[in-house]
Amino acid sequence: MENAGNGNKKLRSWDDLKKLRAGEMAKNGEKRTVLLVGMATCGVAAGARDVSEALAAEIKKQGLKNIDITATGCYGFCYAEPMVEVRVPGKNAVRYGHVDKDLAGEIVRRHLMRGEVLDKYVLTQEVTRP
Amino acid sequence: MSDNYGQVRIALRNCGVIDPEKIGDYIAQGGYDALAKAIFEMTPAEIIDTVKKSGLRGRGGAGFPTGLKWELSGKSEGDEKYVMCNADEGDPGAFMDRSILEGDPHSVLEAMVICGRAIGARQGIIYIRAEYPLAVKRLQKAIGEAEELGLLGDDILGSGFDFGIRLYLGAGAFVCGEETSLMNSVQGGRGEPRIKPPFPAQAGLWKKPTNINNVETYANVCRIILNGWEWFRQFGTEKSPGTKVFALAGKVNNVGLVEVPMGMPLRHIIEVIGGGIQNGRKLKAVQTGGPSGGCIPEEHMDTPVDYESLVALGSIMGSGGMIVLDEDDCMVNIAQFYLKFTAEESCGKCTPCRIGNRRLLEILEKITTGGGAEKDMIDLDELGNIVRDCSLCGLGQSSPNPVLSTLKYFRDEYLVHVNDKRCPSKRCTALLRYFIMPEKCIGCTVCARNCPVSCISGERKKTHVIDQARCIKCNTCYEKCPVNAITKE
Amino acid sequence: MPQQAAEAAASFPEIDAYIDGLPDINGALIPVLHRAQEEYGYLSREVQLHIARRLQIPASKVFGVATFYSLFTLEKKGKFRINVCLGTACFVRGSEAILRQFETDLGIKARETTEDFLFPLDSIRCVGACGLAPVVMVNDRVYGRVKPEDVKGIVEEHLKRGGE
């Protein structure tokens, strides 16, 4: 289990909590690209696991580094599951809907590798949090 | 926090944003700071006061002021008290709580600890449906992670305050969403309601003072503690501050979860956020509150969504199910659907609910199968009011709402069913009649060969005829006809 | 009295171990029933009596609780539990027609099981995947946006695995 920054240590004060948070935020601030896959019941039933695997396979095939694939909950767009949000540092976060294995491959090859947003499949775009 | 089309995400703030299985993600978003603030900077009275002033009301349906509930259980004397979370989301077509628990479990845990600190309890119990295995798994993991970091368990954050949370799995009974039934279920019994008073705040689980709130209610608490009650009150209306999460489903284009400030008109939710009705059909009604709610017709779509306005229309806010119906939906059929549900889910303890709902259902079945008369509508109204007024718990008191509201707003539709024995929306199968249009029939015999009761006759290359007396309305001929020569009315 | 003798002789070590591990048997009935059903697939008369003895409560209470909750079953269930969602969202999107199609294809009615014990057919109330309505669940797997013509394929997919 990947645990919070300072491992299995119990927090003994509010300061401990603040330190842990600072560590977590620093981690998030690293220059890493994150792919968020919606893995709530709707997403999983619509095939999010396959999508997640397809993303991982394509990333490996293309030899890309510093990319995390993370599971997340339901964003509320149940009609568009499975969903993948692409967060590239310094760029808008782009959320794709109705993703299947083929589209997963395209997201890796075109969006991640060439910086091309696949407009046809975009649900939302928003400014990435600092 | 503002989102597209006027949505505001408070309860859903982290859903779809963080990894729910990593406590670090939650902490990075400011998680557990509200708890630290509540422990180190606020007295229990101040916590309760903040929640009271925020005007937060129960998101499970009835809209009871949360702060008042906390105050009552805080004032009750007792060596042991409990903090409970009602996650028995049984309303068919609603999945707000599931999404919160699957997407942001820590927000509920943190709020329960804050509540424990406020009312002087050290034990929390989450009663969750066994039908939500993923939510159960994520909650278990969240509890484990919080315990490891000392955010749950003994001596939280070194403050000397102890609070533990455990899960309790339901076993498939809608009535357990009623708080006293839920407590009986946790005590290992049948989920039958108790007579109130005493209220759970006085004598709840194991007869100890108990505070029980719904998942979404708790999901609002941490933000109120962190940002203050004034911040919360900037959203929503005077009497219903804050936001409400709705599970938008049915005939709407964008099925999903939405969180909107209270007071937003229904029409905005359906047409702007929901993207309108599927396949260009026309909106007919919206059903809110599930089996306990009612159907709101199109002409009232500009009603602002808040507790009082929905009740005034004969529906309720409920837990947040919002089912959109279009012109293809038959309102009598919908009323029957809900009644069937409540009749099956009635626990049987009190007579009005056990027998009254059964009789209501029988009358509706008579109407939808062509045996109805106008008198049946009077009976429905009278009996519905009796069940509403005399039942023991919320289930029975609200179960006639779907019938009473459709009777009120869609009287004409009932009249067509009872007088003409017709279903204008063609949903009540027993009232349908199938015909073959002579001008279209090519005499291919496909319908006759596929008819399971052989009630279609006709020679090859000549027009076929359906024997109405023997037709079982199975729809086979309608589906099989290659030239669409079959019509139903 | 052979039946009583058999009941007394029946042993349920898994349940005993579970109950022994509980901090308190007060109010433990429902978790114990969950555990028993998970272990044996259903709650037989024998296991209900055993649980009553171990938790020191009347057998009538165990039976009362086991029959109150819809997730508990007193009869052996088949291998692939087909549940068609009849929650509101699925209902208005035509799940009744799906259920009827299963009834036709399997030749049984809802709440019945096929003769080979492979397919118990039933309905369920909302699995919370309303975005995918209408929904069918087979054991823990969720099928979304099901059309009547998909029913045959779902049955065949499991028939292939039936012999395993």
* Chain B residue with Cα closest to A5: B24
d(CA B29, CA B110): 13
Reply yes or no on whether the pLDDT at B367 is more than 90.
yes
Q: In this complex, which chains have at least 3 CB pairs below 8 Å with chain C?
A: A, B
Task: Name the minimum distance, in Å, from the CA of C148 to any CA of chain A.
Answer: 18
Q: What is the mean pLDDT of chain C?
A: 88
Under an 8 A CB cutoff, do C65 and B190 touch?
Answer: yes
- Nearest 5 degrees, angle CA A10-CA A14-CA A18? 90
Asked if the Cβ–Cβ distance from B158 to A11 is below 8 Å, we say: yes
Write out pLDDT tens, residues B161-174.
999 999 999 999 99
Task: Please name the member of A41, A77, A79 whose beta carbon is closest to the beta carbon of C128.
Answer: A41
Token representation of residue B370? 């062509």
Q: What is the mean pLDDT of residues B349-374?
A: 96
The mean pLDDT of B15-24, rounded to a whole number, is 94
Q: Is the pLDDT of residue A127 over 60?
A: no
CB contact under 8 A, A79 and C131: yes
Cα Rg of chain A (Å, integer): 16
- The pLDDT score that the predictor gives to residue B2 is 37
Count of beta carbons in the 10 Å neighbourhood of residue C53: 12
Residue of A nearest to B3 (CA): A126
- State the Cα angle at B17 between B13 and B22, rounded to 5°: 105
Residue that terminates a domain, selected from C68, C91, C120:
C68
Which residues on chain B place their C-beta less than 8 Å from a C-beta of chain C? 89-95, 98-99, 130-133, 168-174, 185-191, 206, 247, 249-251, 255-256, 287, 290, 321, 323, 325, 329, 334, 337-338, 341, 347
CA C144, CA C137: separation in Å to the nearest integer?
A: 9
Please judge whether A41 and C135 are an interchain contact, meaning their C-beta atoms are less than 8 angstroms apart. no
The confidence score (pLDDT) of residue B342 equals 94
Residue of B nearest to C87 (CA): B92
C134 in any annotated domain: yes
Decide if pLDDT at A5 tops 60. no
Q: State residue C61's pLDDT score.
A: 96
Does residue C1 have a pLDDT over 90? Answer: no
Nearest to B15 by CA among C128, A36, A74: A74
- Give residue limits of the domains in chain A: 32-126
Contacts of residue C150, Cβ cutoff 8 Å, sequence gap at least 6: C143
Provide the pLDDT for residue B474: 81
**Neighbouring C-alpha atoms within 13 Å toward the C-beta of B271:** 14
Does A130 have pLDDT greater than 70?
A: no
Q: What's the confidence (pLDDT) of residue C4?
A: 57
Q: Hey, is C70 helix, strand or coil?
A: coil
Reported confidence tier of residue A3, pLDDT bands at 50, 70, 90: very low
How does pLDDT run across C53-91, given as a tens digit for each residue? Answer: 999 999 999 999 999 999 899 988 888 999 999 988 888
φ, ψ (nearest 5 deg) of residue C85: -75, 125
| Position C116 pLDDT exceeds 90 | no
Average pLDDT, chain B: 94
Its sign, for the CA torsion C74, B95, A70, A52, is: positive
Q: Is residue C73 part of a domain?
A: no
Encode pLDDT of B230-264 as tens digits. 999 999 999 999 999 999 999 999 988 999 999 99
Closest among B167, B110, B111 to B135, alpha carbons compared? B167
What are the chain B neighbours of C26 within 8 Å (beta carbons)?
Answer: 187-188
B197 prior amide bond cis, ω within 30: yes
Q: pLDDT, tens digit, for every residue of C28-39? A: 999 999 999 999
Q: B355 exposed, middle or buried (CB, 10 Å; 0-12, 13-18, 19+)? A: middle
Q: Is the peptide bond before C58 cis (omega within 30 degrees of 0)?
A: no
ipTM, 2 decimals?
A: 0.89
What number is the average pLDDT over the span B330-345?
95
Taking CA atoms, B37 is separated from B42, B50, B139, B141, B157, in Å, by 7, 12, 23, 24, 11
- Percent of chain B at pLDDT > 70 equals 99
* C109/C148 same-domain check: yes
CA B53 – CA A34 distance, rounded (Å): 40
**CATH number of the CATH domain containing C51:** 1.10.10.1590
Mean pLDDT of chain A: 86
**Helix ranges, B313-433 (H):** 331-345, 351, 357-368, 374-390, 394-398, 401-409, 411-415
Comparing CA positions, the residue from C110, C111, C96, C90 lying closest to residue C148 is C96
Domain that holds residue C57: 2-68
Contact B17, A72 (CB under 8 A): yes
Report the C-alpha gap between B247 and A41 in whole angstroms: 14
Say yes or no to pLDDT of A8 above 60: no
Question: From the candidates C136, C139, C142, which should be mutated to test the interface with A, based on the most A CB atoms within 10 A?
Answer: C142
With respect to residue C77, please indicate whether it lies within any of the assigned structural domains: no
- In this structure, what is the dihedral angle of CA atoms A103, A104, A105, A106, given to the nearest 10 degrees? 50
Q: How far apart are CA B455 and CA B466, in angstroms?
A: 6
B129 within 8 A of C34, measured Cβ to Cβ:
no
A contact test, residue of B7, B42, B99 with most A CBs within 10 A: B99
A96-113 pLDDT per residue, tens: 999 999 999 999 999 999
Looking at the structure, tell me whether residues C94 and C29 fall in a common domain.
no
C157 and C86 in a common domain: yes
Average pLDDT over residues B369-376: 95
Tens of pLDDT along B386-429? 999 999 999 999 999 999 999 999 999 999 999 999 999 999 98
State mean pLDDT over B5-32. 94
- Residues C150 and C114 placed together within one structural domain of the fold: yes
pLDDT for C30: 97
Q: Residue C139: inside a domain, yes or no? A: yes
Neighbours of C95 (CB within 10 A): 22
- Domains of chain C: total: 2
Give the distance from residue A3's alpha carbon to the nearest chain B alpha carbon, in angstroms.
Answer: 7
Average pLDDT over residues C2-9: 55
What pLDDT, in 10s, does the model give residues A23-43?
Answer: 998 887 667 899 999 998 888
Percentage of chain C with pLDDT > 90? 56
In a domain, C147, yes or no: yes
C-alpha span between B240 and B262 (Å, rounded) = 6
The answer on C102 and C128 residing in a single domain is: yes
Same domain, C108 and C155: yes
pLDDT, residue B131, reads: 85
Least confident of A115-129, B259-273, B331-345: A115-129
Q: Which of 1.10.287.3510, 3.40.30.10, 3.90.550.10, 1.10.10.10 is the CATH number of A32-126? A: 3.40.30.10
Cα B223 to the chain's mean position, in Å?
24
The answer, for C142 touching chain A at a CB cutoff of 8 Å, is yes
Based on the domain organization, do C6 and C51 belong to the same domain? yes
* Distance from the C76 Cα atom to the nearest Cα atom in chain A, whole angstroms: 27
Give counts: helices (H), strands (E), chain B: 22, 13
Q: What is the pLDDT of residue A1?
A: 38
Domains of chain B from N-terminus onward: 8-233 (3.40.50.11540), 243-326 (3.10.20.600), 347-420 (1.20.1440.230), 432-488 (3.30.70.20)
Confidence of residue A19 (pLDDT cuts 50, 70, 90): very high
